[in-house]
Structure 1
């Protein structure tokens, strides 16, 4: 327990000043894996580490509970949510409903500079597939992939759907899914990124939507149909 309490004091170097700052700081600590699944978050320790009173911490924990990042257990406290394979299935289902639609819309309005950036990111991800798989290469892949998809969904010009999609993708579960990818999975995903870029260049909404749908379905298959890989809580 002592080691966990020590970790609590390293969330943020500078004191948070607003309720939004407190929320973001705790959320960042959860998404980065600083707190493990099932670990309790203590108001007093969080307030001390962030340089604030317990009131904004309490409010931040309520928001994190409402957003599905933590869960409140009466008489015990607030703990980090343990993600399950069912959570992964639900996220993929939601992505399949929203993301191809936004990609198709993006094909009709995305700017040239955004397409050029997507090409650069696709090139970078292809280059990563030629390296040995390491934690650093996986992190580089995750970062490039996240930016790639964020550019496309933002170009879909539906801010509410885009925000909802981004919220789902911020979960620690998303990083876990990338950790399950084999070298072949990454190579396949890299090729699909190039097809999506090609469809966007052609301003072909139907093609872009179909390419994005196939991309997500392939990712779902790679993650959920490999029972021998590391998994979150069953």
Structure 2
């Protein structure tokens, strides 16, 4: 297990999973969420029996889930050793966050061209939720509000293909954003506020430019924070994993 990861014995048993969807998919989504939120740390050994007990399922859907997560890049399978949470490389992160910049800049441009007053009001409500999370020093709340605000802008773009493409990278973005949510903090939400007003004013070009700058700042912050994320205790210069 990674030295930065929580002790397995300290984790509470989760409530049994609901089963309207195929169980293997539910288990896959749950383990991915545990990785995104930091409950499972990069490099941590994933033991089928322990995960099955924690999720209240048999080992078979856990095994299937780990195979699926391996194919999607969340988990590394090492012959003779087992499954481990993938540790993103700097190159992987750079490629993903650069792609996100291209897609989200276009979504902001289209959102400004198509925005309705009701949609803008929803953005302002999400902005308020994010600012409240910053004030409360709530990392999880910041990540959730940030994801919701960006998702709303995607929806406002009106381009379903673009929205689907952004959704493909969204979970990875949340995973990478979590450790830097606090360091981005107020600055990120000041940028959001400016972007919302530009979208409300219908200035498509400026909205695209602002989103490009905003996502590029996040990318640069992520790379600057990597030494802190890789420190033995997971903390450095005031940055800590959630």
**Bucket of the pairwise TM-score, normalised by the shorter protein:** 0.7 to 0.9
Query: What do the CA deviations read for 1:126-153 (whole angstroms, capped 9, x no partner)?
Result: 5666x4x74x3x3333222221111112
- The answer to whether residue 90 in structure 2 is matched with residue 91 in structure 1 is no
Structure 2: gaps spanning 5 or more residues: 232-242
Q: How does 1:1-234 map to 2 (within 5 A)?
A: 4-6=7-9, 10=13, 12-15=14-17, 17=19, 18-126=23-131, 131=135, 134=137, 136=138, 138-156=139-157, 157-158=159-160, 159-171=163-175, 173-179=176-182, 181=183, 185-225=184-224, 230-232=228-230
Cα pair distance change 1:215/1:25, threshold 3 Å = same
| TM-score of the pair, normalised by structure 1 | 0.80
| TM-score of the pair, normalised by structure 2 | 0.78
Secondary structure in structure 1 of the residue aligned to 2:114 = coil
Q: Cα distance, 1:35 vs. partner?
A: 1.8
- The question of whether the paired residues in 2 share the 8 Å contact of 1:9 and 1:48 is answered with no
Cα pair distance change 1:36/1:223, threshold 3 Å = closer
Q: Cα distance, 1:24 vs. partner?
A: 1.8
Q: Cα distance, 1:190 vs. partner?
A: 2.4
- The question of whether the paired residues in 1 share the 8 Å contact of 2:75 and 2:83 is answered with yes
Whole-angstrom CA distance in 1 between matches of 2:121 and 2:28? 34
Secondary structure in structure 2 of the residue aligned to 1:220 = helix
